[in-house]
Amino acid sequence: MDNSNGGMGGKTALITGGTSGIGKASAVALAAMGANVVVVGRNPERGEAAVEEIKAQSHSGSVELMLADLSVQSEVRKLAEEFLGRHDRLDVLANNAGLVQSKRTETPDGIETTLAINHLAPFLLTNLLIERLEQSAPSRVITVSSEAQRWGNMEFEDIQSRRKYRGFPVYGMTKLANIMFTYELAERLSSTGVSANCLHPGSVGTNFGQNNRGPMALFFRTFKPFMRSPEQGADTLIWLSSSPEVAGVSGKYFSDRKEIKAKKVAYDPAARRRLWEISEDLTGLKVAA
């Protein structure tokens, strides 16, 4: 990754899933550019070890760990509250954390886990941090989606996959939700100086998918040697976070630094609004408003 694409000195970046994989690679690059980087992880020991590695690789001391289990909405709220208490600016919010599951499980909030982590967590966290992003404008929200969105259908009547659960299609639906959220967010923030974009990182050889057993775990183990490195997978995320080339660009979906098209439903304003309203209901944001 070429670090010469724009200074990040004095800027603050918050990266979910920042203690491993492309999140960690992005943290290293942005810290090396001079950003104050806050990485979000679940495990204190692994998180602190990752922070030390990021500091060493980036030659920067401005790297901080915040702990949150993003499947639990109270922890997402606590994360936002802690961040706002510690930081007076937010220039980059990278919604990177995600998972795929072969079997259906529910979070402590009673939400299907893939939906909770991949879509509702970034939806809730972004909304809770909107004011700080606006105060820091021009600022950027980047959400990691996937071309798995093409396998997904937006099942509004069964968005929690209670009637039928299949791991990859449900994952695809949440990645499609990431794009629809990004497009709707960009529209809602069009006059604020906050941009919202999303990306497909490519097939990256990380620990992603290793939480599963059976055929899904076998799939990830088999193809891992042929996948991109985390650094390669992080390239577009780093570029969207830092490059002057995309200053002011908003409401786009990228792969390898090029804009690509999403599924047709992502361009349907009524469908995007419906997803937003369902997401407000499932996160309690509508009640809070």
Instruction: Look at 225 and 37; give whichever has higher pLDDT.
Output: 37
The closest of 95, 78, 80 to 15, measured between CA atoms, is 95
The predicted model gives 17-21 an average pLDDT of 96
The closest of 159, 135, 144, 129 to 98, measured between CA atoms, is 144
Q: How confident is the model at residue 213 (pLDDT cuts 50, 70, 90)?
A: low
pLDDT for 103: 96
pLDDT of 178 strictly over 70: yes
pLDDT for 230: 80
Q: How confident is the model at residue 204 (pLDDT cuts 50, 70, 90)?
A: low
pLDDT of 2 strictly over 70: no
pLDDT for 206: 46
pLDDT for 286: 73
| % pLDDT > 90, the chain | 85
CATH code, residues 12-288: 3.40.50.720
pLDDT of 5 strictly over 90: no
pLDDT of 241 strictly over 60: yes
Pairing of strands 194-200, 139-144: parallel
The predicted model gives 4-14 an average pLDDT of 81
Segment among 51-60, 201-210, 221-230 with least mean pLDDT:
221-230
Q: Helix, strand, or coil here: 228?
A: strand
Which sequence spans correspond to the domains of the chain? 12-288
Provide the residue type at 140 as one letter.
Answer: R
pLDDT of 19 strictly over 50: yes
pLDDT of 184 strictly over 80: yes
Q: Which residue has the tokens 């937006």?
A: 154
Q: Encode pLDDT of 92-143 as tens digits.
A: 999 999 999 999 999 999 999 999 999 999 999 999 999 999 999 999 999 9
Q: How confident is the model at residue 21 (pLDDT cuts 50, 70, 90)?
A: very high
The predicted model gives 207-214 an average pLDDT of 48
Q: Helix, strand, or coil here: 258?
A: strand
Task: Please identify which of the residues 165, 171, 183, 267 carries the catalytic annotation.
Answer: 171
Q: How far apart are CA 178 and CA 120, in angstroms?
A: 9
Q: DSSP strand E in the chain: where?
A: 12-16, 36-41, 63-67, 92-95, 139-144, 194-200, 252-255, 258-259
Q: What is the dihedral of CA 139, 145, 149, 152, to 10 degrees?
A: -100
Task: Give every CB contact of residue 159 below 8 A, 6+ residues apart in sequence.
Answer: 115, 173, 278
Provide the residue type at 230 as one letter.
Answer: P
Yes or no: say if 154 and 177 are a contact pair by the CB < 8 Å rule.
Answer: yes
Q: How far apart are CA 229 and CA 258, in angstroms?
A: 19
Q: How far apart are CA 17 and CA 30, in angstroms?
A: 15
Q: What would the two tokens of residue 238 be?
A: 């780093």
The predicted model gives 23-29 an average pLDDT of 97
Q: What is the average pLDDT value for the chain, to the nearest integer?
A: 91
Q: Encode pLDDT of 259-284 as tens digits.
A: 999 999 999 999 999 999 999 999 99
Q: Which residue has the tokens 């941009």?
A: 195
171 in catalytic set: yes
Q: Per the omega criterion (within 30 degrees of 0), is the bond before 44 cis?
A: no
pLDDT for 16: 98
The predicted model gives 66-71 an average pLDDT of 98
Other Cβ atoms less than 10 A from the Cβ of 288: the count is 10
The predicted model gives 40-68 an average pLDDT of 98
Q: Helix, strand, or coil here: 204?
A: strand
Q: What is the dihedral of CA 198, 121, 139, 197, to 10 degrees?
A: 10
